[in-house]
Structure 1
Amino acid sequence: MKLLRLALAALFAAAFTVHAQDYPSRPVKIVVPYAAGGGVDAAARLVAQHLSGTLGQNVIVEPKPGGGTLIGTEMVARSAPDGYTLLLTGGSTMSLLPLTHPGKLPFDPLADFAPVGVVSRIPFFLFSSASTPYKTVKELMDAAKGNPGAMAYASNGVGAMGHVGTEMLLQSAGAKMTHIPYNGFAPALSDLVTGRVVMVMADLAPVAGQLQARTLRPLAVASSQRSRFQPDVPTLEEAGFPGTEFEVWLGLYAPAKTPPEIVTRLATELGRFLALPATREAFAKLGHELGTGGPDAVRQRIVNEQKAFAPAVRAAGLSNAK
């Protein structure tokens, strides 16, 4: 019986090796667990267009929104590990959801996926209304410490990256504010401009109009380096709050146990795509910086972010553990 099992395993491995050598022999699908038409969908279509040309097969994008990215992500986790069903999702799917839904996810971010690489990074900024007197993060945090809970900040939803990032900042500053979650950035920005809330963490795409009208003031960028889109805006570390850095980022994944040859080929093609000057400009139009790092870098980023986010998730009461 043992010999039979070993023989079957060898045949199975050999079959996958043959398939890997012929890959791809039919269209490839990139599942996006967000609604069509958004920034993630647009990024996925740029990747798909490039891979279609280099792989010699059509690469299509299939939006599969719902469940806070759970539906599309689980679909890929349960797909055949043959390289024909891929996932492009935000880093929060892998880094934040395991903390807010401990033991309840239908997938394990590290065990059920074979990372391909980081696609892009979306810098988040801390904004206040231009009508407020706060010109630095320190001034704003000092005001919050002087009035615990009296000031309010906005986010685009409970458990969103902007929510967790703001809680990280407040913990670092020793300040307390009231959190007001909104259904998206548009209503949050309206209340920010009118003064109902004093700050919000958001990417540049939804605030373009307010920045052009100079009704918002960017105080800091939450990433570890300054953004080329707003080079005069300091990082949170430069503003005096180290250890509060975070980035929204997009990664490409295959199901776990996808043959290493296929993952390596996809990672190589993705790296070539991201090295093109035209790619940099195409992603800049989306408000994205290009990503760097292959499979190992993605895994390490997930591990590091889970450690960094855990205290903020606990302090904000975001864990759904029972």
Structure 2
Amino acid sequence: MQPSAQRPLFKWLAAASIVTASGAAFAQAGTYPTRPVTIVVPFSAGGGVDAMARVLAEKLRTVLGQSVVIENKGGGSGMIGAQAVVKAPADGYTLLMGSAGETAVNPFVFKSRMQYAPQTDLMPISLVVKVPNVVVVNPTLPYKTVDELIAYAKANPGKVRYGTSGVGNPQHLSGELMARQANVELTHVPYRGASNQLLDVIGGNIEMTFVSLAGARQFIKDGKVRAIGITSPGKSALAPDIPAVFDSASLKGYSLENWFGLFAPKGTPAPIVARLNAAVLESLKDPTLAAKLKDLGGSPSPMSPEQFRDFIKQESAKFGRIVEEAKITPDN
């Protein structure tokens, strides 16, 4: 066969393979899921991301008609779990319940050390909740308000240690923003998850932590830690009894919120992403689920994949400015 005669055949075969692949993807989405779905939480059990992922999974089991399993893969400021999802088959059966840290902040902190690119290696499915952090301290310490904490920090440079779930995540940025805005020296102590940092606040090993309301609520109720501020822009309806750092005299206008969303590996067929997005949106419409998320300190915030992608870009730009101004590096 002459080359000129082969070209139409090659074009036909290429077109046929595209149609076949597309048809297979739609067929797969039509039956998806046929086995359990795993949601990877890139932090240890007991923290805010973990708690909300488990609540969402309960509803998704009903909506998807399959088991939804939570797998905790903590460490590396959320990057170990995120990277595991990036490397997983792009078939909709391994998902990430990601926070702002490993998806919007870490590229600015870790740069070339990153082994994945969040905006290209992860496919946004939907934002799930926005989550303000709570500033909690050991109840035996002398400061009972944010202003008293700042006064103590000014008088005792570096002696206020604050724990976070890892370098460069929104909790770390919350501490750096506080230190810069109040012109005080705070010492950062990174952990693998919220539960350990809370235990160390209770035990007196560190003075305070920034943590999601979900992770701290029971400790606050039990009087094991004292909540002195919430990082939302103004008082939060989720915790009206906790004053906003925003309103304190020493940190006027301060605010920084975290958020959690669902992601799939790059290359996941669009019909499966659409199916998952529809499942999340349907789940978040359920009043019982919404009430549980609010009780955990999260504001349900469903989005389309396109809206979520745009939201991440905006948040990345905001967090990137804080990282640059505070000169945050992996060694902070």
- Which residue of structure 2 aligns with residue 280 of structure 1? 290
Shift of 1:182: 6.1
- Give the TM-score taking structure 1 as reference length: 0.80
- Which residue of structure 1 aligns with residue 164 of structure 2? 156
Using the aligned pairs only, state the percent identity.
28
- Which residue of structure 2 aligns with residue 124 of structure 1? 133
* 1:153/1:177 contact within 8 Å kept: no
- Which residue of structure 1 aligns with residue 210 of structure 2? 201
Does residue 187 (structure 1) correspond to residue 200 (structure 2)? The answer is yes
For 1:32-181, list aligned pairs within 5 A: 32-36=41-45, 38-128=47-137, 136-138=145-147, 140-141=149-150, 144=153, 147=155, 149=157, 151-156=159-164, 159=167, 160-173=169-182, 175-181=183-189
* 1:113/1:255 contact within 8 Å kept: yes
CA distance, structure 2, for counterparts of residue 150 and residue 108 of structure 1: 34
CA distance, structure 2, for counterparts of residue 299 and residue 317 of structure 1: 26
Q: Match of 1:296, as an amino acid?
A: E
- Which residue of structure 2 aligns with residue 299 of structure 1? 309
CA distance, structure 1, for counterparts of residue 302 and residue 43 of structure 2: 23
Q: Match of 1:253, as an amino acid?
A: F
Q: Match of 1:79, as an amino acid?
A: A
Shift of 1:144: 4.5
Query: Bigger CA drift: 238-247 or 217-226?
Result: 238-247
Q: Match of 1:156, as an amino acid?
A: T
* 2:129/2:302 contact within 8 Å kept: no
Q: In the comparison of the two structures, how many residue pairs are matched?
A: 313
| Structure 1: 4+ residue segments shifted above 6 A | none
- Give the TM-score taking structure 2 as reference length: 0.78
Structure showing the higher helix proportion among its residues: 2
Residues 44, 137 of structure 1: alpha-carbon distance in 2 compared, 3 angstrom cutoff:
closer
User: What 5-or-longer segments of structure 1 have no aligned partner?
Assistant: none
* 1:211/1:217 contact within 8 Å kept: no
* 2:63/2:279 contact within 8 Å kept: yes
Residues 46, 143 of structure 1: alpha-carbon distance in 2 compared, 3 angstrom cutoff:
closer
CA distance, structure 2, for counterparts of residue 28 and residue 157 of structure 1: 26
CA distance, structure 2, for counterparts of residue 63 and residue 88 of structure 1: 10
Residues 267, 157 of structure 1: alpha-carbon distance in 2 compared, 3 angstrom cutoff:
closer
* 1:148/1:176 contact within 8 Å kept: no
Residue in structure 1 matching 2:275, options 265, 289, 299: 265
Q: Deviations over 1:253-305 (max 9, x none)?
A: 112232332222211221121122211333355x2324203223432343233
Describe the SS at the equivalent of 2:247: coil
* 2:138/2:201 contact within 8 Å kept: no
User: What 5-or-longer segments of structure 2 have no aligned partner?
Assistant: 1-6
